Amino acid sequence: MTTATATSHDDHHHGPEKGIMRWVKTTNHKDIGTLYLWFAFAMLLVGGAMAMGIRMELLQPGMQVMDPHFFNQLTTMHGLIMVFGAIMPAMVGLGNWLIPMMVGAPDMALPRMNNWSFWILPFAGGILMSTFFMDGGAPAFGWTFYAPLSTTFAPDSTDFFIFAVHLLGFSSIMGAINIIATVINMRAPEMKLMDMPLFVWTWLITSFLLIGAMPVLAGAVTMMLTDRNFGTAFFDATGGGDPVMFQHIFWFFGHPEVYIMILPAFGIISHIIPTFSRKPLFGYSSMVYATASIAFLSYIVWAHHMFLTGMPVAGELYFMYATMMIAVPTGVKVFNWVSTMWKGSMTFETPMLWALSFVILFTIGGFSGLMLGIAPADIQYHDTYFVVAHFHYVLVTGALWAIIAATLYWLPKWTGKMYNESLAKVHFWWAVISVNVLFFPQHFLGLAGMPRRIPDYSLQFADFNLISSLGGFAFGASFILLAYIVVDCIRNGKPVDARPWDGAKGLEWTLSAKADYHTFNTPPSRELIENESQHS
Amino acid sequence: MVTDMKQNNKITKGFWIKLVSAPILMFVFAVFIMPPIYDVFCEITGFNGTTGRVEAEQQYEVEEERKVEVSFFAMTMPGFPVQFGPKVNSMQVVPGKFYTTSYIAKNNTDKEVIGQAIPSVAPTDAALYFKKLECFCFNRQVFKPHEEIEMSLRFVVEPEMDERIKDVSLSYNFFKLES
Ligand code: HEM
Ligand SMILES: [Cu+2]
């Protein structure tokens, strides 16, 4: 292998090509990671702008800003863009940047495919966004696109939505194949599976979830497509189909999908907490097994989204207990993070602040998930703002929090420079306070019965909605500061050492301060791997 | 590029096949396997109010004192131009005995209309035991212009149904077929 690499590079050897074509043609995992991350950030701003529109309309009861149909388009597109455009690409971007460095590989296993899986994304996103300008508008049936709303009753633009989802699916599946091949084939020969850092483990398991779940999503939209255009009746009762089956298929994809978004986040947090506690990660192998069992369980709990579709009692009970079981491995993780901090010499640099607030706020989301998983209670909670509060706690203060934490934590390695720590602290406190002002009151709104996906509401919900909207505007604005912090770091950051964080372990920290364009042309030795292991 | 070659060499053919076929299999599973499984599942369990069918009049053990009230409902999909309703709104039935009732439908237009009725039984736990010997819902129905037809239904509530269920409702929803 070493001899092969030594002679393997053409003119790319000493650094990237110049100009825009560098980014179009690149097969370098670091470039592609950067592209993914900037794309995700752009989409985060687009989806965030939609959220601002939504909160503007909900600021007060009554209809002020937009008509209900446009409101529905905004909620739908907000959900789709955030899930498929922001969170997932950001996680793939982090995976691209970090996995080869963490397993001591020179690049991803399939660099060309890597290029395609990124460059499909802007097209898919563009097609999705273009539906706003079509007759009948963008999809307005919710990010869950239940049939028959999305088949019989949807505008023609829905076919473009279907095509966009197909492309997104292709991109994710290729990304997943690439990560599996990288971890299995390109890993340093001296690194055993149980030596792998947790971010690598969680992404490996996530890749299997992607390979299992994304084709099911593709299948669901394909069936929609043929129902809409080619006379099949998968979801149409007239022809012997069943709209409820759509929900089964969608959630058979949908529940694994939520874990696709959160498992890499678990990995990230499992790097940051040991670093700033200056202790090895507590319970490494239990973390690996917990991740694997969460992934397995995520395939057999889907109907907890469907407690109100008239399931037999036996079904309700089964899905209720199965759902509750997910709390066990998730709890194992939370306890391991807490135990890692126990008696550690903790410091509170900004990545640690994000990680700590992740542990607390994600757990709040987990608890509301447990409440929703109680079938008889869900009769009250389903389709209310309580659900909205739940999934924003797990996705925003869970997945997105981890993405921000990771960005700050590894930014010095990506740029060789340090971000402005005091600005980052300001940004953290701004975001963590406003996000709670935004989402916490939504629990109360939901418990009081305010339905989700509505542009207007009765008067008793006015106060909490006002608070929530104001929190929302503040939270939205905080991302401008985040953009500034990142750009400022790239432009004016102070140069750092190769290991800017005192307690950081991991192969990536053995590279130069700013990781070279090509790294690990020779795989790391057993000794290095053992020294850099974050667990004992 | 040599880099690519080296890496492609490392990925064995068998591994490639596994990597690519796994998502393809999942797609096939979703489109071609899940729907039929779902149908069979609904038939076996009565899930979603799917009613059962018997081919011939069977003998059941009949308890004359046990009574179940069966209510009949009718709906039409928006835009279906046929007036549709049950002849009687409800019946007292003894589980294990066969009964006949009918629905009436009138085409209010000058055109021929073709439709298909889809049955559903509530509660779900009763659906499994609600069996039909004959039903207009087994076939599509053709309504000549301004025609009124009576469509019959012969059914039994099987005695194995949970004793605690005293009320069962059967509803039909009429959909338009294009041909
Ligand atoms: C302890 C773990 C969890 C449990 C028990 C749980 C349970 C539930 C239940 C029962 C619902 C359905 C509520 C309803 O519609 O009435 C739900 C909705 C949802 N959950 Fe979770 N959840 C958990 C963790 C997560 C995580 C980690 C994520 C994502 C990172 C997530 C994302 C979502 C989303 C997006 C929805 C809403 C889907 C929709 O639009 O209807 N959940 N959860
Ligand atoms: Cu779920």
Backbone angles phi, psi at B166, to 5 degrees: -105, -20
- Looking at the structure of chain B, the number of domains it has is 2
User: Taking all residues of chain A, what is their mean pLDDT, rounded to a whole number?
Assistant: 93
Look at the alpha carbons of A523, A274, A514, A397 in this order and tell me if their dihedral is positive or negative. Answer: positive
- Taking every pair of C-alpha atoms in chain A, what is the biggest distance, in angstroms? 73
C-alpha to C-alpha distance for B134 and B43, rounded to whole angstroms: 17
ipTM: 0.82
pLDDT at residue B14, rounded to an integer:
83
The distance of B12 to chain A (nearest Cα, Å) reads 9
* Segment B114-140, tens digit of pLDDT: 888 888 888 878 888 888 888 888 888
Question: Does B97 lie in the same domain as B16?
Answer: no
Tokens 């593709």 — which residue? A218
User: What is the whole-number distance in angstroms between the Cα of residue A298 and the centre of ligand 2?
Assistant: 8
- In Å, how far are A8, A110, A113, B149 from A15, measured between CA atoms? 14, 19, 21, 81
* Segment A468-521, tens digit of pLDDT: 999 999 999 999 999 999 999 999 999 999 999 988 999 999 999 899 898 998
pLDDT at residue B3, rounded to an integer:
40
Provide the β-strand partners of residue A494: A418
pLDDT bucket at A72, cuts 50 / 70 / 90: very high
Q: Mutual orientation of helices A198-229 and B13-28 as an angle, nearest 10°?
A: 50
pLDDT bucket at B49, cuts 50 / 70 / 90: low
CA end-to-end distance (rounded Å), chain A? 29
Question: Does B86 lie in the same domain as B10?
Answer: no
Question: Does B90 lie in the same domain as B15?
Answer: no
* DSSP per-residue letters across chain B: -HHHHHHHHHS-HHHHHHHHHHHHHHHHIIIIIHHHHHHHHHHHH-GGG--EE-SSPPP----TT--EEEEEEEEE-TT--EEEEESSSEEEE-TT-EEEEEEEEEE-SSS-EEEEEEEEEESHHHHTTEEEEEEGGGS-EEE-TT-EEEEEEEEEE-TTS-TT--EEEEEEEEEE---
Which residue lies with its CA nearest to atom 8 of ligand 1?
Answer: A369
- In a mutational test of the A interface, the residue from B18, B21, B27, B140 whose CB has the highest number of chain A CBs within 10 Å is B27
- Mean of the pLDDT values across residues A317-345? 95
Decide: residue A24, CB within 10 A, 0-12 exposed, 13-18 middle, 19+ buried: exposed
Question: Does B118 lie in the same domain as B83?
Answer: yes
Share of chain A above pLDDT 90, in %: 85
Of the two residues A242 and A417, the one the predictor is more confident about is A417
Q: How many Cβ pairs closer than 8 A exist between chain A and B?
A: 115
C-alpha to C-alpha distance for A305 and A310, rounded to whole angstroms: 12
Could B35 and A185 be called an inter-chain contact, meaning their C-beta atoms sit closer than 8 Å? no
C-alpha to C-alpha distance for A214 and A6, rounded to whole angstroms: 38
Question: Does B11 lie in the same domain as B61?
Answer: no
Residue A391, SS3? helix
Parallel, antiparallel or unpaired: strands B98-107 and B148-157:
antiparallel
Q: Which long-range contacts (CB under 8 A, 24 or more apart) does A58-67 make?
A: A58/A455, A58/A457, A58/A465, A58/A468, A58/A469, A59/A465, A59/A466, A59/A469, A60/A462, A60/A465, A60/A466, A61/A456, A61/A457, A61/A458, A61/A459, A61/A461, A61/A462, A61/A465, A62/A456, A63/A455, A63/A456, A66/A455
Q: Residues, chain A, total?
A: 536
Of the two residues B45 and A4, the one the predictor is more confident about is B45
Question: Does B97 lie in the same domain as B123?
Answer: yes
Q: Detail the DSSP E strand segments found in A134-201.
A: none
Residue range(s) defining the domain that contains residue B31: 2-45
Which residue lies with its CA nearest to atom 23 of ligand 1?
Answer: A369
- Whether the per-residue pLDDT at A5 is higher than 60: the answer is no
Could A186 and B173 be called an inter-chain contact, meaning their C-beta atoms sit closer than 8 Å? no
* Segment A390-437, tens digit of pLDDT: 999 999 999 999 999 999 999 999 999 999 999 999 999 999 999 999
pLDDT bucket at A10, cuts 50 / 70 / 90: very low
Alpha helices in A63-110 (DSSP H): 68-80, 88-102
Lowest mean pLDDT among A110-124, A283-297, A309-323, B76-90: B76-90
DSSP letter, residue A384: B
Question: Does B149 lie in the same domain as B95?
Answer: yes
Strand ranges across the sheet with B167-176: B90-93, B68-76, B167-176, B113-122, B141-143
pLDDT at residue B128, rounded to an integer:
83
Does the CB of A238 have a partner CB in chain B at under 8 Å?
yes
- Residue A342: Cβ within 10 Å count: 11
* B 27-66 residues inside an 8 A Cβ radius of A: 27, 29-31, 34-35, 38-39, 42, 45-49
CATH number of the domain bearing residue B163: 2.60.370.10
Decide: residue A171, CB within 10 A, 0-12 exposed, 13-18 middle, 19+ buried: buried
Share of chain A above pLDDT 70, in %: 97
Question: Does B52 lie in the same domain as B126?
Answer: yes
- Whether the per-residue pLDDT at A49 is higher than 60: the answer is yes
C-alpha to C-alpha distance for A34 and B150, rounded to whole angstroms: 69
- Mean of the pLDDT values across residues B25-47? 84
- Whether the per-residue pLDDT at B102 is higher than 70: the answer is yes
- Whether the per-residue pLDDT at B5 is higher than 50: the answer is no
- Whether the per-residue pLDDT at A202 is higher than 80: the answer is yes
- Mean of the pLDDT values across residues A231-248? 84
Question: Does B36 lie in the same domain as B72?
Answer: no
Which range has the top average pLDDT, A118-127, A149-158, B109-118? A118-127
pLDDT at residue A536, rounded to an integer:
62
- Whether the per-residue pLDDT at A102 is higher than 50: the answer is yes
- Whether the per-residue pLDDT at B59 is higher than 50: the answer is yes
Question: Does B30 lie in the same domain as B71?
Answer: no
Provide the β-strand partners of residue B169: B71, B122
- Taking every pair of C-alpha atoms in chain B, what is the biggest distance, in angstroms? 86
pLDDT at residue B56, rounded to an integer:
74
Nearest to A310 among B24, B38, B48 (CB): B48
pLDDT at residue A28, rounded to an integer:
92
Question: Does B87 lie in the same domain as B10?
Answer: no
Decide: residue A204, CB within 10 A, 0-12 exposed, 13-18 middle, 19+ buried: buried
- Whether the per-residue pLDDT at A339 is higher than 70: the answer is yes
Residue of A149, A250, A359, A391 with the most ligand 1 atoms within 8 Å of its CB, for mutation: A391
Lowest mean pLDDT among A23-27, A480-484, B5-9, B72-76: B5-9
pTM of the model: 0.87
* Segment A159-192, tens digit of pLDDT: 999 999 999 999 999 999 999 999 998 999 989 9
Q: Which long-range contacts (CB under 8 A, 24 or more apart) does A346-351 make?
A: A346/A276, A346/A277, A346/A278, A347/A276, A347/A502, A348/A276, A349/A276, A349/A421, A349/A501, A350/A408, A350/A419, A350/A421, A350/A424, A350/A425, A350/A427, A350/A428, A351/A272, A351/A275, A351/A276, A351/A405, A351/A406, A351/A408, A351/A409, A351/A501
Question: Does B16 lie in the same domain as B88?
Answer: no
* Segment A214-228, tens digit of pLDDT: 999 999 999 999 999
Does the CB of B80 have a partner CB in chain A at under 8 Å?
no
- Mean of the pLDDT values across residues A39-62? 97
C-alpha to C-alpha distance for B60 and B127, rounded to whole angstroms: 17
- Mean of the pLDDT values across residues A97-108? 94
Q: What residues does ligand 1 touch, defined as CB less than 6 Å away? A: A 144, 258, 261-262, 304-305, 323, 326-327, 330, 366, 369-370, 372-373, 378, 381-382, 387, 390-391, 394-395, 398-399
User: Taking all residues of chain B, what is their mean pLDDT, rounded to a whole number?
Assistant: 83
C-alpha to C-alpha distance for B22 and A463, rounded to whole angstroms: 51
Domains and CATH numbers, chain A: 26-531 (1.20.210.10)
- Whether the per-residue pLDDT at B1 is higher than 80: the answer is no
Decide: residue A324, CB within 10 A, 0-12 exposed, 13-18 middle, 19+ buried: middle
C-alpha to C-alpha distance for B25 and B29, rounded to whole angstroms: 6
Lowest mean pLDDT among A8-12, A130-134, B64-68: A8-12
- Mean of the pLDDT values across residues A294-303? 95
- Whether the per-residue pLDDT at A6 is higher than 60: the answer is no
